[in-house]
Amino acid sequence: MSTYHPLTESEAIQVARSLTNIFESEGELVSREIGDGNLNLVFHVSQPSTGLSLIVKQALPYAKVVGESWPLTLDRARIESEALIIEERFAPGLVPKVYHTDNELALTIMEDLSNHVIMRQGLIEGGFYPKFAEDISDFLARTLFFTSDLGMNQQEKKLLVRSFANPELCKITEDLIFDHPYVDADTNSFDAHLREDANKLWADSELHLEVAILREKFLTHAQALLHGDLHTGSIFITPESTKIIDPEFAYFGPMGFDIGAVLANLLLHYASQEHWSPNATARDERRKYLIQSVREIWVLFESKFRALWDEHGIDRIAKTAGYQDYYLRNLLQDTIGFTGAKMVRRIVGLAHVADIDRIPEPAVRAKAQRLSLEIGTKLIKRNRQSTSIEQLIDIADSASKV
């Protein structure tokens, strides 16, 4: 079975048996394809007699969301496995355990996390996750610091940058986040009632300047190894546990892109509350919880990142007074700008979010979409003037009060 082909459910059982020793030799295995993402096959393989289980994830040679007309490198399976292994080293317990990688078959066999829920779905169902800000700030601070020039050997980092080049998946991001939403591109997809809003977006040269600056950072600023697609669909969660999955977009890029992805997806959920909250009191409480999560994630991230720098910083000249403050101020600004860009793409670009798309009433959905666009565009436009996370919060708060 070593030549690449998309696996069937029964072949997933064969690879799970032959490439790992997770299962007891006695006892039948059951396999189900459960992938609901944009790109891959995901098989859940279990042994009912023992309760043991695992996941076989296989990259397809094209983007499933579009079809075979959009070819896509299988090398992303290697990138994903290697990123998971590095993330586990720096943020232990916050990613699934990798049991086996097969680059020829483009597959990763890993821990089954089906006792968790996908965070996007958990939020839609009204879940509260009291440990999330602590866990995600740990993940971000530790993976970003220890793969940056502040926290790892700078020559080894250059070699790692090479093995995480990931040009095809970066191109998806460059197009779908930093280009297509700002022109009348074929890949864009939005409700007819947003036509005027899209026209405004395409004509806004002040906005385009900021997008060009953010795009340049994404293209050139190899600051740290990013997850690269850290939305709430890439997070498995329970109130007690957080697991970050799916780093196939990993590459060395600007740190604020990962932090912004998390904040953007909380704010997209915030923008959808008129539908998902049962009444005005619940909506206000939910919005406060989401805003408080955004604040805590940044505040905890910043203090953890500074502590890692003080304790484990490897660069003598980076200890110069004032440099850490300068670095964190730029990182906050990048985070705010990327948060905005990640919101806008989910409203007018190719790939949307269920928090908003699943709102059935067009008028309520339109309000959530416009609120997301308003918050997103303001964050993009104001990112370079920002000095505090409270400025991002004010933008979200005041937009939702109108």
3-class secondary structure, 55: strand
Nearer to ligand SR1, 66 or 98 (CB): 66
Would you say how long the chain is, in residues? 402
Partner touching 176 among Mg ion, ligand SR1, none, CB below 5 to 8 Å by kind: ligand SR1
> Closest separation between CB of residue 356 and Mg ion, Å?
18
172 binds, among Mg ion, ligand SR1, none (CB under 5 to 8 A by kind): ligand SR1
Q: Is 21 annotated as a binding residue?
A: no
Question: Which residues is 33 bridged to in the sheet?
Answer: 43
Contact by Cβ (8 Å): 389, 379: no
| Contacted entry of ligand SR1, Mg ion, none for residue 65, CB cut-off 5 to 8 Å set by kind | ligand SR1
Question: Which SS3 state, helix, strand or coil, does residue 278 take?
Answer: coil
Strands 251-253 and 224-226 turn out to be: antiparallel
Taking the least distance from each CB to ligand SR1, the nearer of 54 and 172 is: 172
Q: Which is nearer to ligand SR1, 137 or 265 (CB)?
A: 265
User: Are the C-beta atoms of 122 and 237 separated by less than 8 Å?
Assistant: yes
Contacts with Mg ion by CB under 5 A: the residue count is 2
| 284 marked as binding residue | no
Residue 111 marked ligand-binding: yes
Which residue from 332, 346, 325 is spatially nearest to 297, judged by alpha carbons? 332
**3 state SS of 283:** helix
The pairing of strands 107-111 and 224-226 is unpaired
In the range 204-243, which residues lie near ligand SR1 by CB under 6 A? 229
Count of helices and strands (H, E) across the chain: 15, 10
Q: Is 258 in the site for ligand SR1 (CB under 6 A)?
A: no
Q: Report whether 267 contacts 335 (CB < 8 A).
A: no
Binding footprint of ligand SR1, residue count (CB under 6 A): 10
Applying CB under 6 A, does 65 fall inside the site for ligand SR1?
Answer: yes
The answer to whether residue 172 forms part of the interface with ligand SR1 (CB under 6 A) is yes
120 contact partners, CB below 8 Å, separation of at least 6: 231, 232, 233, 265, 269, 353, 354, 355
Selection from ligand SR1, Mg ion, none that 226 binds (CB < 5 to 8 A by kind) is none
Is 176 one of the binding residues for ligand SR1 (CB under 6 A)? yes
Question: Which is closer to Mg ion, CB of 37 or CB of 122?
Answer: 37
Six-digit token string for 385: 């003037």
367 is in an annotated binding site: no
User: Interaction with Mg ion in 36-55: which residues (CB under 5 A)?
Assistant: 37
State the minimum distance, in angstroms, from the CB of residue 193 to Mg ion: 28
Q: At what angle do helices 255-271 and 323-348 cross, to 10 degrees?
A: 50
Which of 80, 82, 197, 246 is the binder for Mg ion (CB under 5 A)?
Answer: 246
The DSSP bridge partners found for residue 46 are 30, 53
Q: Which residues bind ligand SR1 (CB under 6 A)?
A: 38-39, 63, 65, 172-173, 176, 229, 350-351
Known binding residues for substrate are 229, 345
Q: Which residues bind Mg ion (CB under 5 A)?
A: 37, 246
